[in-house]
Amino acid sequence: MPLALCLVLSPALFAQTPSLEELANINFVADVRLFAVMSAINAGGFNYETAASMHPVRQRVRDKLKTLDPALLQRLHDFYIAHHAADTPQREIARYTSLALLLSNPPQFDVTLSLKEVPAEAREVIGFEQILPVFYEQAGLEQLWLEVGSDYAAEIEKYKPLVRQSIAQSQQYLHTEARVSLDRQILFMPDLMSAHGFANSRIVQNLYYLVVGPAEDPGTNLRNVRHEYLHFLLDPIIEKNGLAIVQQREVLQLLSGRSDLLEKFANDLKLLNIESLIEAAQLRIEQPANANEQLTQKYAAGNVLVHHYYEQLQEFEKASMSFPEYLPSMIQAFDLRRELQRRDFLAAENERRREKREKEEQQVREQAERQGALERVNSLLQEKKYDEAERLLLAMREKNPSDPPVLFGLGQIELQRHNAAPAEIYFQGVIQHPKAPAWMVARSRLQLATVYLATERLPEARSLLQQLAQESGDIGGVQQEAKKRLAGLPSH
């Protein structure tokens, strides 16, 4: 059992929530085994988060651990690097958390299960426990643990209202009452040596562990807390209906083509049902605006019964019976044909979304390339390197013949070369484009007046300049420039 600061939810805690007064199977625990393991990997190289963003306890302990025997620090570092999970810090934390929960109390830190019983993720870092006894002694963790005890107690107090909220929501939704479980227990553990925002849940025999990293706002972990409590409530109910679930082997057809999930659930249909049911219940409790989108995400993650249970829960909400009474009808309502159709529909939708996403990403890349090319053109024009600028613009025009900035740039170049005819065509193209920026249209009209003057079309130039001078708003100084040019024109 975990050591120290083991705080049980007493009746007094729920003085204002009488329906929860008898709930005595949730313990808030600050666990020295977890503290020791996470302190050790921090000393060995776990550096996720900057020093400024780390919880003060983590930073304080890490500073003290720097004074350890260099040989011991090297030993911790060598093990950590040799077993480093390169994918995500979440997986790194999960593996060492899983190992910590299987250890005996200090100073021995023995693994309490046989190797074949150790979960796969903990097995990846097995052997680390052999370093812990000497680390525990040399680092003075017994004293450090006493020093940080009040911080862990404060973190626990922050979470108690959240746990109470999760319990109330779950029981109210499932039409169940608080019950004392004699054979199962939930252990809620803060882990201040971890990173902010991470949460891990584990079920070891009849113990349900929920380990949460530090959080400025405990509400960010509401879903994780409620998930674990729903597990606690629903596991025995699913177990009672286990025979009906196991007999529905055809459910595995929904996982065809997904060998990883097929291997995971082939021998554990109850796990597939419970995870899908919990995710569906979470969404029915929360009722988010994007529920359909979240259902699709949960389905893609492997919870292939989440749509089935979501729909069944909608019917359950209309019923007057408790969830344990209603669950058998939910299981019996499974329709393989409908679910296979749903699978194919979702696969097609997923493919459409993938194609749309790829198209949008391509558009973003092309827009970035276009913007970079236009910036290069502007630089070349300022340097009067007209030939090089023209080559870039003509290459861009092959992709989009009517692109206003491209036409505007080409018009400017032709104007600099005193080629009035092509310049007029380019500026007219900008003016006529429905999506050309207002400033570019105004500037193109001003340049068009220049073309008219250059080709001795004085009446057209005067008319255009008068229009620009009289328009409301002076976009890019065009109105002022038009007035100045009008003043310089001959009177007839």
pLDDT of residue 159 exceeding 80 = yes
For CATH 1.20.58, the residue range(s) in the chain are: 437-492
- Beta strand 185-190 with 26-29 is parallel
| pLDDT score at 6 | 39
* % residues pLDDT > 70 (the chain): 93
Which CA distances in Å does 95 have to 41, 77, 86, 189, 333?
11, 16, 12, 16, 38
Query: How buried is residue 478: exposed, middle or buried, by Cβ count under 10 Å (0-12/13-18/19+)?
Result: buried
pLDDT at 16: 46
pLDDT tens, residue by residue, 357-374:
999 999 999 999 999 999
- pTM (global) more than 0.85: no
Which runs of consecutive H residues, i.e. helices, occur in 175-305? Answer: 222-240, 242-246, 259-265, 269-286, 291-300
CA 449 centroid distance within chain:
55
Give per-residue pLDDT as tens, 213-255: 998 899 999 999 999 999 999 999 999 999 999 999 999 999 9
**Which residue type sits at 291?**
A
Between CA 20 and CA 299 the distance in angstroms is: 33
In the β-sheet with 207-212, what is the strand arrangement from edge to edge? 6-8, 26-29, 185-190, 207-212, 199-204
Closest CA to 170 of 270, 286, 271: 286
CATH 1.25.40.10 in the chain is located at: 335-433
User: What per-residue confidence (pLDDT) applies to 471?
Assistant: 86
More confident residue, 350 or 34: 34
How many beta carbons lie within 10 A of that of residue 142, not counting itself?
Answer: 13
C-alpha to C-alpha distance for 348 and 370, rounded to whole angstroms: 33
Question: Is 182's pLDDT higher than 70?
Answer: no
- Report the DSSP beta bridge partners of residue 27: 8, 187
Contacts of 79 (CB under 8 A, 6+ apart): 44, 127, 128, 131
Identify the CATH assignment for 335-433 out of 1.20.1250.30, 1.10.3720.10, 1.25.40.10, 3.90.950.20. 1.25.40.10
Give the model's pLDDT for residue 218: 92
Classify residue 300 as exposed, middle or buried by CB count within 10 Å of its CB (0-12, 13-18, 19+): middle
Cα 157 to Cα 31: distance, rounded to the nearest angstrom: 15
How much is the pLDDT for 184? 84
Is the pLDDT assigned to residue 190 strictly greater than 70?
Answer: yes
What residue type is assigned to position 122 of the chain? A
Residue 178, pLDDT score? 60
How many angstroms separate the CA atoms of 431 and 429, rounded? 6
The span from the CA of 94 to the CA of 224, in Å, is 14
Is the bond preceding 434 in cis, omega lying within 30 degrees of 0?
A: no
Using an 8 Å Cβ cutoff, are 298 and 306 in contact?
yes
pLDDT of 19? 36
pLDDT above 80 for 399: yes
CB 29 within 8 A of CB 9: no
Three-state DSSP string of 164-194:
HHHHHHHHHHHCCCCCCCCCCEEEEEECCCC
Task: Name residues whose C-beta falls within 8 Å of residue 372's C-beta, 6 or more positions apart in sequence.
Answer: none
Q: What is the mean pLDDT of residues 417-437?
A: 94
pLDDT for 180 equals: 59
Q: Note whether 107 and 131 are within 8 A (CB).
A: no
Does residue 26 surpass a pLDDT of 90?
no
Residue 14 exposure: Cα atoms within 13 Å on the Cβ side: 20
Task: Write down the CATH number for the domain with range 437-492.
Answer: 1.20.58
Rg, Å, the chain Cα set: 34
